[in-house]
Structure 1
Amino acid sequence: MSNFSYFPKRYGLHGELKEQNQQLTAAKEELQKELTETQQRVTHLDHQFNVLEKENQEVKKKLHDCQTFLVAAKLDPVSGEAIVKAVQENEEDRKEVMNVSTKLLNELQAFEEIATQQRSRLLEIQKTVSDLNEERERVMQERQTFTLEANDLEKALMEAESLLL
């Protein structure tokens, strides 16, 4: 009878492993969700970057066209000043676009670092889940072996009792 005290310990370990497995599964799902959201954000930021890059190219072309027009038209100083203002405004717009582009690149780099960290964390959790699954399988095999041994011992005990009677 004292051999049966072994089962509650096994069931307790099994319960702990099951609870840890559930916690790791929940953590894995949360990380998957965060990764999906992060990937969507990267896609959005990439799109914004492409739009800004296109606007930047357009501004550069307009600036070049304005400069060409000013030289070709040989405008007087009064109208030339107005064009210079437009050129300056375009240059300011270009600088703003470049600043936004730089900020976007910095944000993408920061995001990449976070995504790399989260991926590492996810891989660690997946490894832990795998280890726990292997441990659970080992415990189940030990339990099965123990049960078979207990049955064999019980059978041998019954045979010995029947021989004694």
Structure 2
Amino acid sequence: MKDILLILVLQLLHVPTFTLRTVMLVKGKSLAAASLGFLEALIYVFGLSIVFSGEQNAVTMLVYAVGFAAGLFLGTLIERKLAIGYTTFQVITKTKNMDLVEGLRKEGYGVTLYEGEGIDSKRYKLDILTKRNQEKDLFQKIESYEPSAFIVVYEPKAFKGGFWLKSMKRRRKKAQTS
């Protein structure tokens, strides 16, 4: 029974570590990914040694699989909580809602406004870059100004220059002088 519980706990450690390592790798954070990979391999080998050294029965294998599934779920929750990286909001509106644009800019968001043609009238597109951990707040702000907006959120792989990087540099300098 002790081994079965240990297998479950190890899977609950191993799989979230695997999930976070994968995220770090995709985000280009090589050192963090390598560190998590080391931890992941250690947990994995230790767990497998327990599985293969004891009596292999259906219960052990089932607990291993249940631990794997629960670990995936836990890893996903942790990753969402950490919300590492950035997202770009693409907001399409039927009107040129300058209250929305100015309101977001006052709150520190970089907003680029475009005018285009929809199937039956003009449409306005806003591009807004934000940190992933601010997605929910930004979504609510947009909806409060423009409830019928069409919103698409995606993750940029990389970006360079522009308002966002300048404002991050200003905040970093301000933090260093404080």
Q: TM over 0.5, yes or no?
A: no
With the length of structure 1 as denominator, give the TM-score of the two structures. 0.30
Higher RCO (CA 8 Å, separation ≥ 6 residues):
1
Please say which structure displays the higher CA radius of gyration. Answer: 1
With the length of structure 2 as denominator, give the TM-score of the two structures. 0.28
Select the structure that is richer in helix. Answer: 1
Select the structure that is richer in strand. Answer: 2
